[in-house]
Amino acid sequence: MLEKIKKAGFEAYFVGGSVRDALLGKAIHDIDIACSSYPAETKNIFPRTIDIGIEHGTVLVLENGHEYEVTTFRTEDVYVDYRRPSRVSFVRSLEEDLKRRDFTINAFALDEESYVIDKFNGLEDLKNKILRAVGEPSERFKEDALRIMRGLRFSACLNFTIEEKTFSAMQDHAELLEKISVERSFIELDKLLQAPFWKQGIRYLMLSHAYQYLPFLQDSLIKWEKMLADLPEDFVFSSSEQAWGAVLLYLGIDKTAPFLKKWKTSNDFQKTVEKMLAIYKLRQERKADKADVYRYGLHLMLLVEELRQAQGLTVDFERIKTIHANLTIHHKHEIVIKGRDLMAELQLKPGPELGKLLNQIEEHLVAGHLVNERTAILDFVRKELEA
């Protein structure tokens, strides 16, 4: 990739998080390339490209079965909404491009010979596990307030300490988060909660007062502190749903849907978290039975047990797994007889009575009182109809 761009007479470097992760020995996901070629020039170099952000200088290049985001070196004008620049100017200078990056550990450039270009002492910060804004911190956060949430997330993911001046600027500009789209803030907080050092990220969230400017989190300090105190330091959430279920639990949110809708989450996500909280509530009252395991599924049941274990409560991992393994059916689609079969065999008509019979069949199969065989189910229905 880099060689092709350079052969065409331009500069090109790997930049951003992929360089940072490579230096840290972490797995690399998205690979970003910055170059001195303008978008039209980049498109002339590669036969297969897609305009994904052409106004910002970004072209998606399809090469050798991979996708690469290739962006022209650029500078940015005044930010009008604390998120997007009023204008982007393409430049031929790598240093001018790197100046607009958020943190020093994200402002590296890597050439084709694996030489690291470090204009802001990011290698030293990487070595010392310090998160420091590029240039003047206040300017970086006024340009893009989401960088505050990104900083908290990086701290949680990397176990980095936020440099004093950078953190002070986060505190000073935390109120600007109200101007950021909820979807963007959710993505960062979601990643923070699932990070290995999420507790550190939450502590910074509290100390920066950023939580005060996020949906439904105002005046929640004591509740966050309770969550941090209850869960072990080495506990890591297994999924996004488990993490947000715990947040709702500790925040004392009774109505799950309005809270998660405010955070612009999907309906499926809301339903999953609601189910987790329902499981948690029933487990506070009693042990799970066959009907519970069938209704909610093994995965969610075990996620709740993990949370209970972290809280020091009694758990039933093996019992729940055994119940699930011994269920006659795990989903209604597995039932060998459908409504149309009952109508054909027993001359039943569509309606409430048929629906009631199908529910009875399902309940008896789950309870283990009926085998999932055609003859057995038909005999059961005949007896119900005669009763």
Would the annotation count 308 as a binding residue? Answer: no
Query: Any known ligand binding at 81?
Result: no
32 is in an annotated binding site: yes
On whether 382 is known to bind a ligand per the annotation, the reply is: no
Q: pLDDT tens across 319-329, in order?
A: 999 999 999 99
Distance (Å, whole) CA 208 – CA 176: 12
Paired with 59 in beta bridges are 70
* pLDDT tens per residue, range 175-206: 999 999 999 999 999 999 999 999 999 999 99
Mean pLDDT value of segment 259-267: 95
Q: Which DSSP symbol is given to 70?
A: E
Q: Is 153 annotated as a binding residue?
A: yes
Q: Torsion angle of alpha carbons 350, 354, 358, 364, nearest 10°?
A: -170
**Contact indicator for 180, 144 with CB cutoff of 8 Å:** no
- State mean pLDDT over 40-58: 88
Residue 274: what residue type? E
The whole-number pLDDT of residue 81 equals 56
- Find, among 207, 254, 256, 198, the residue nearest to 227 by Cα: 198
Q: Tell me the whole-structure pTM to 2 decimals.
A: 0.88
Known binder of ligand: residue 101? yes
Domains and CATH numbers, the chain: 1-124 (3.30.460.10), 129-214 (1.10.110.30), 229-327 (1.20.58.560), 332-386 (1.10.246)
Reference 52, options 41, 65, 67; nearest CA is 67
Percent of residues, the chain, with pLDDT higher than 70: 96
Question: Is 144 annotated as ligand-binding?
Answer: yes
